[in-house]
């Protein structure tokens, strides 16, 4: 662990103690306005459930940078949903991040990497571009929740992510509260949810979820892989 990463870890621990017991709204306002003014961004997939956190952030600051990873393999419905939410919520600083064309040409010229090596595809199309996009920030916001299962069931609300601080303000919220907030705020769901897609990423790695199954079981179905890598 580098000195910078150790410093980040210590700060995450301090912040976790200072904001223990704060609910998501209060936590977001504190981190956006007090702890990291001009130094924090929201990373959003504009997938299922994304509208809730986007709405909560917009209530604090509609000009907060929102980073969106356009991998080149997303559903058209996701791109249209993104544009609708940006207009609806009045977000003014959407930053669309794409992998470098030169990197794609060198590592995935036939666009089949998602089938032959999905970890390498995620590293190329998501991890590397996001790392570059976050280089000017001290902290970032994620919409992950513990009820989504797998590695997420143990995640803290505030954590160190390399040399940065990451907050997961909705980590402790149960699915029922998320659904209730969607209804109370009049938020639209991702159009693919009605068709059985409950966790929505890139087209080659996203399938419908069987009734009663975990919401993320449709991601990289049949593989041990459960995360793209940006949260590891």
214 pLDDT above the threshold of 70: no
**Coil, strand or helix at 105:** helix
Q: Within 38-140, where are the H helices? A: 50-60, 76-89, 101-107, 113-116, 118-122, 128-133
Residue 146 in any domain: the answer is yes
**Residue-level pLDDT at 210:** 73
Residue 211 in any domain: the answer is no
Query: What CATH number has the domain bearing residue 44?
Result: 3.40.50.620
Residue 213, number of CB atoms within 10 A of its CB: 12
d(CA 123, CA 139): 21
66 pLDDT above the threshold of 80: yes
Q: HSE (CB half, 13 Å, CA atoms) of 15?
A: 25
**Contact call for residues 144 and 171 (beta carbons, < 8 A):** yes
Residue 8 in any domain: the answer is yes
Residue 42 in any domain: the answer is yes
Model pLDDT for residues 90-126, shown as the tens digit of each residue: 999 999 999 999 999 999 999 999 999 988 999 999 9
Domain that holds residue 16: 3-186
**Residue-level pLDDT at 201:** 87
Strand partners, 68: 96
Residue 220 in any domain: the answer is no
Looking at the 3D structure of the chain, how many domains does it have?
1
Tell me how many helices (H) and strands (E) the chain has: 9, 6
211 pLDDT above the threshold of 90: no
With bands split at pLDDT 50, 70 and 90, how would you rate the model's confidence at 206? confident
Arithmetic mean of pLDDT, 13-21 = 95
Between the alpha carbon of residue 70 and those of residues 53, 78, 138, the distances in Å are 19, 10, 22
Residue 191 in any domain: the answer is no
Residue 201 in any domain: the answer is no
Residue 48 in any domain: the answer is yes
Catalytic residues: 228
């Amino acid at each position: 662990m580098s000195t910078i990463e150790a410093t980040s870890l210590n700060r995450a621990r301090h912040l976790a103690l200072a904001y223990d017991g704060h609910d998501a709204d209060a936590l977001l306002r504190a981190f956006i306005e007090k702890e990291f003014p001009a130094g924090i961004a929201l990373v959003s997939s504009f997938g299922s459930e994304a509208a809730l956190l986007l709405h909560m952030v917009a209530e604090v600051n509609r000009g907060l940078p929102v980073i969106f990873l356009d991998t080149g393999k997303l559903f058209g419905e996701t791109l249209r949903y993104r544009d609708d939410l940006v207009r609806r919520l009045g977000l003014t600083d959407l930053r669309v991040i794409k992998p470098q064309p030169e990197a794609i040409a060198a590592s995935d010229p036939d666009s089949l990497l998602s089938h032959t090596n999905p970890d390498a595809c995620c590293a190329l199309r998501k991890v590397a571009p996001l790392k570059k996009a976050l280089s000017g920030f001290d902290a970032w916001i994620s919409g992950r929740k513990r009820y989504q299962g797998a590695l997420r069931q143990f995640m803290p609300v505030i954590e160190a992510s390399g040399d940065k601080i990451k907050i997961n303000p909705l980590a402790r919220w149960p699915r029922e509260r998320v659904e209730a907030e969607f209804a109370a705020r009049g938020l639209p769901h991702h159009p693919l949810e009605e068709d059985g897609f409950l966790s929505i990423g890139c087209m080659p790695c996203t399938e419908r979820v069987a009734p009663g199954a975990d919401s993320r079981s449709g991601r990289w179905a049949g593989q041990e892989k459960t995360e793209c890598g940006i949260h590891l």
